Structure 1
């Protein structure tokens, strides 16, 4: 008599994914760590270059830090940062406020595009530095000349990016909204504007970067206070360490403003699907 036995099937092995430890906090720490390493490497290269060429050509990190403390102690650095920041924010803000609506009109209304296109295509190729002398002659050496130059820098960048975003909207979306009975205003608010917001944000960020280029030129020519004026005055006195302080302050200030703009855009305009 033969007895057969059947064994119970072995339980199937389930693959388990390894749990990620740390989550967003760990990722943030890794990001900070990478940034710290990058900064330390940059400081190391800077120190080596300073040792090779000497303080008369390249100020070392320690010399630059000492000069920054010196300029901060007598208020020169703080006043320069405040003056340049005020001019940049006013001119850039006006450029965004004017450029975005104009870009929407250019992108949506053909006759407006035909009327303004010759001017936008002409003036965007003339750098703001070319108008520094005229701005000083027409508006004086006060704040107006600097603000107008930064506005000129920002407005065309924002306008062109906004109009490009409007013209990139999918025609099928516009036709679908119109077939459902949406008015021109509703189409603008619910279809065109959400699709254009990323372009506006990109234009605003590019305009911010170019505003820093313009402010240095404007303050070198006609300003008693400001980071551009600080750099130029330092050069006249032969203080290379002061020049480095002005340059590094410009970079740090630009980085801070760009980060703030990205955070605000991400949180406030997240409903439009903007990725910045």
Structure 2
């Protein structure tokens, strides 16, 4: 099968590419590093020539402000147009659990727009909603820290390992389109403020966590269940302790 992974040099994309190639598929990793820019459309027609499936795991290089919304709007317009012209038969997209509930956030508003365009495109599709990656905990820290403290909502999250997400995407890419959304999450539900404190303790970061119900999450106000999956979500086995023990942070000398 001829498959193009958009964002194929990123955390999840590299893993998806490796898994699909390991199964004997012809796979192209599309990214700015390979001459493909989905925001401008540069290189898309060339990389999609002959493609049967597109797996889109691209992400905005900026996570705060209006930039993510602008990124997703431009990217999905160019990508769907190029896919239609190339005769792509299946569009697989990675999104986030809770996207439809977080319209106050430019990031999630952009993701919701992306999903709407996919549904309206007429292309067969599958959207995977995943909870926050364990690897994303550091990003939450970086955008939340101020003066040695982090103010975080006590909303619940159920993080998942990016490797499990990549395995699911690789499997979905070679299956028939669902024309709908699938949810996946990790096995443990924990308050964001508490798991971030656990993470900071493990990496010996000198920050204090303050639980604040009014603290924004990438511009959105969170209810206790805003980031939780539904009852039909696929739950993976890798928990926080298992992930941290095999991560780059375990035993690191800071």
Q: TM-score normalized by structure 2?
A: 0.21
Larger radius of gyration: 1
TM-score (normalised: structure 1): 0.20
Bigger strand fraction: 2
Question: Bigger relative contact order, structure 1 or 2, given CA contacts below 8 A and separation 6+?
Answer: 1
